[in-house]
């Protein structure tokens, strides 16, 4: 009897939204052509963050690393409770996110940002820079560096190539990090790259071909510089060291940046950055003999969850759908893809097809909220607002302008949404990939509009939740496995 009552209530809620009035005009709800339910009914609590870390038991093999959100409860278990002053607010997160997006778009249009002033190493000019965009630093993994091994928590970035960490003696400055700073003098496998080894030094210049390595300091050492739009940066020596990825997977002569002058406003206590981009100096390329340029990841669905980053193809789900990886000039470190359609409630938004067909797109862990061309976002927003009209709207949250007050509901019904990629790959988004919940009183559509139609589409980390993402750089393809993170 209870189950029948529950069914009737659910049926009534669906029927109640089948027809509603918008500005006095009756709108009938479309029926899914397959006969399946085009709605997702979820508990409100499942969209809200938890304050307790949930253990993850899905690590696939000894080349898997745990991925945790930098400021969540799982991070606190590993590194101790964070200083409340360093925990970003929603305003901070979205502001940093917008800065990263602006940086990526500037690279696409070959606009350069101001380098500003910087203290120099060994009283010399800094000859090398990587031209990397800002990183919001949402996810970290722990790897080992040196002999004996020092464990370091690094920010994961699929849009960066160089892996770097702060190094003693911090000749100019090091920011505060939660773990001891790496000391190369205590490692038996550390060495610096000299400018005479120009081929190695120039690997860092894959996205800045107008620069070259020069013997501009007394030791003739190759110097790298990575600078970000919020004025954070790392400058130091390009070096070689033993890298340990989980268990006993070790790689000698791994090229990395040993930072001697670092400003880390956005790094939040992490020791540095792990570069998973496409260029020769990235972790993916440097470990190619062992892993064949394949890696996969599941991002934490909430700050209280733990995800994974796995190198190699063993254990990859059998139901992965692959779309081709493309290349965009000036953004050759990023994984570029084609997004060809958006489906809401089983209905393809046909009005946006022509715009999507000519738009460039990338997938990016470092970007939080997915960015769409203005007309595409407008069409999506209108469709969501039409189908969510039974819920009260509230004020926007920074760049998120479609927000609802769901505090009066235990369960909510939202329209299903899918993204369509090149090769006719259709990806169904989880509810947590459609809406971003600040609180029960402010649950927002997790998409935003670019400023101009020429700007890049960026598939952000929110839309990747609960989905196993598989990157096969050797075969130039990127795959999705919905619900592949369980």
Q: Percentage of the chain surpassing pLDDT 70?
A: 74
Question: pTM of this prediction?
Answer: 0.82
Domains 34-49+316-481 and 64-311 share a fold: yes
Buried/exposed code over 80-118 (b: 16+ C-beta within 10 A; e: otherwise): eebeeeeebeeeebbebbbbbbbbbbebbeeeebeeeee
pLDDT at 394: 95
The secondary element (H helix, E strand) that includes residue 357 is: helix 353-357
pLDDT at 113: 34
**97, 161, 345, 364: which one is catalytic?**
364
Q: Percentage of the chain surpassing pLDDT 90?
A: 47
358 CB contacts (<8 Å, ≥6 apart)? none
pLDDT at 122: 39
pLDDT at 209: 31
Mean pLDDT of 423-444: 92
Active site residue 210: no
Fold of 34-49+316-481: Cathepsin D, subunit A; domain 1 (2.40.70)
pLDDT of 398 strictly over 70: yes
The structural architecture, per CATH, of the domain 64-311 is: Beta Barrel (2.40)
pLDDT at 469: 95
Sheet holding 417-421, edge to edge: 347-348, 339-344, 417-421, 425-428
| pLDDT tier for residue 15 given thresholds of 50, 70 and 90 | very low
Residue 30's φ and ψ, nearest 5 degrees, are: -70, 155
pLDDT of 133 strictly over 50: no
Pick from 52-56, 100-104, 184-188, 232-236: least confident:
52-56
**Per-residue tokens: 363:** 């997938």
What would the pLDDT profile of 168-181 be if each residue is shown by its tens digit?
Answer: 999 999 998 888 99
pLDDT of 449 strictly over 80: yes
| pLDDT tier for residue 206 given thresholds of 50, 70 and 90 | very low
Q: How far apart, in whole angstroms, are the C-alpha atoms of residue 40 and residue 455?
A: 31
Highest mean pLDDT among 29-33, 115-119, 478-482: 478-482
pLDDT of 359 strictly over 70: yes
Of 24 and 136, the one with more pLDDT? 136
The total of other beta-carbon atoms located within 10 Å of residue 397's CB is: 17
Mean pLDDT of 31-35: 47
| pLDDT tier for residue 405 given thresholds of 50, 70 and 90 | very high
Pick from 62-66, 105-109, 429-433: least confident:
105-109
Of 395 and 131, the one with more pLDDT? 395
pLDDT at 300: 83
pLDDT at 286: 96
**Per-residue tokens: 405:** 């007050």
Mean pLDDT of 408-430: 93
**157, 161, 455, 472: which one is catalytic?**
157
Cα–Cα–Cα angle for 164, 166, 170, rounded to 5 degrees: 135
Highest mean pLDDT among 60-74, 112-126, 313-327, 457-471: 457-471
pLDDT at 191: 95
What would the pLDDT profile of 145-167 be if each residue is shown by its tens digit?
Answer: 999 999 999 999 998 899 999 99
Highest mean pLDDT among 128-142, 212-226, 295-309, 411-425: 411-425
Pick from 65-74, 410-419, 452-461: least confident:
65-74
Q: Are the C-beta atoms of 264 and 249 separated by less than 8 Å? A: no
pLDDT at 95: 79
Mean pLDDT of 26-38: 46
Active site residue 32: no
pLDDT at 195: 76
| Residue extents of the structural domains in the chain | 34-49+316-481, 64-311
CA dist list (Å): 98 to 86, 112, 230: 19, 17, 11
């Amino acid at each position: 009897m209870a189950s029948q009552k529950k069914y009737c209530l659910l049926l009534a809620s669906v029927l109640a939204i089948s027809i509603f009035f918008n500005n006095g005009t009756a709108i009938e709800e479309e029926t899914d052509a397959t006969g399946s339910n085009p709605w997702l009914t979820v508990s409100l609590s499942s969209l809200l963050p938890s304050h307790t870390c949930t253990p993850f038991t899905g690590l696939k093999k000894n080349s898997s690393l745990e991925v945790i959100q930098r400021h969540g409860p799982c991070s606190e278990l590993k590194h101790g409770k964070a200083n409340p002053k360093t925990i970003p607010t929603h305003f901070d997160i979205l502001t940093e996110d917008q800065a990263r997006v602006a940086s990526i778009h500037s690279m696409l249009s070959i606009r350069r940002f101001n380098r500003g002033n910087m203290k120099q190493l060994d009283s010399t000019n800094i000859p090398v820079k990587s031209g990397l965009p800002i990183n919001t630093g949402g996810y970290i993994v722990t790897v080992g560096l040196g002999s004996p091994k020092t464990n370091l928590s690094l920010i994961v970035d699929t849009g960066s190539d160089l892996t770097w960490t702060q190094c003693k003696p911090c000749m100019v400055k090091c920011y505060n990090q939660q773990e001891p700073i790496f000391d190369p003098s205590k490692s038996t496998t550390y060495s610096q790259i000299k400018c005479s080894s120009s081929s190695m030094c120039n690997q860092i210049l894959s996205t800045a071909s107008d620069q070259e390595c020069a013997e501009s300091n007394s030791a003739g050492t190759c110097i790298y510089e990575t600078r970000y739009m919020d004025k954070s940066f790392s400058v130091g020596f390009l070096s070689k060291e033993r890298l340990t990825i989980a268990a006993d997977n070790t790689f000698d002569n791994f090229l990395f940046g040993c930072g001697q002058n670092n400003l880390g406003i956005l790094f939040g206590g992490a020791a540095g950055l792990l570069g998973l981009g496409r260029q020769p100096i990235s972790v993916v390329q440097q470990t190619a003999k062992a892993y064949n340029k394949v890696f996969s990841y599941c991002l934490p669905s909430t700050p209280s969850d733990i995800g994974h980053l796995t190198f190699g193809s063993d254990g990859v789900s059998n139901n992965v759908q692959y779309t081709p990886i493309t290349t965009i000039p000036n953004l050759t470190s990023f994984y570029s893809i084609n997004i060809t359609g958006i489906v809401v409630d089983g209905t393809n938004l046909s009005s946006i097809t022509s715009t999507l067909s000519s738009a460039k797109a990338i997938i990016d862990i470092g970007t939080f909220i997915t960015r769409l061309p203005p007309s595409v976002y407008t069409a999506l927003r209108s469709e969501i607002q039409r189908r969510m009209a039974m819920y009260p709207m509230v004020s926007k949250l920074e760049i998120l302008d479609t927000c609802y007050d769901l505090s009066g509901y235990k369960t909510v019904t939202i329209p299903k949404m899918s993204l369509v990629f090149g090769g006719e790959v259709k990806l169904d988004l989880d509810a947590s990939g459609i809406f971003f919940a600040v609180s029960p009183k402010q649950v927002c559509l997790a998409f935003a509009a670019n400023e101009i139609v020429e700007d890049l589409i960026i598939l952000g980390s929110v839309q990747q939740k609960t989905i196993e993402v598989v990157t096969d750089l050797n075969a130039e393809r990127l795959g999705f496995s919905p619900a592949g993170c369980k």
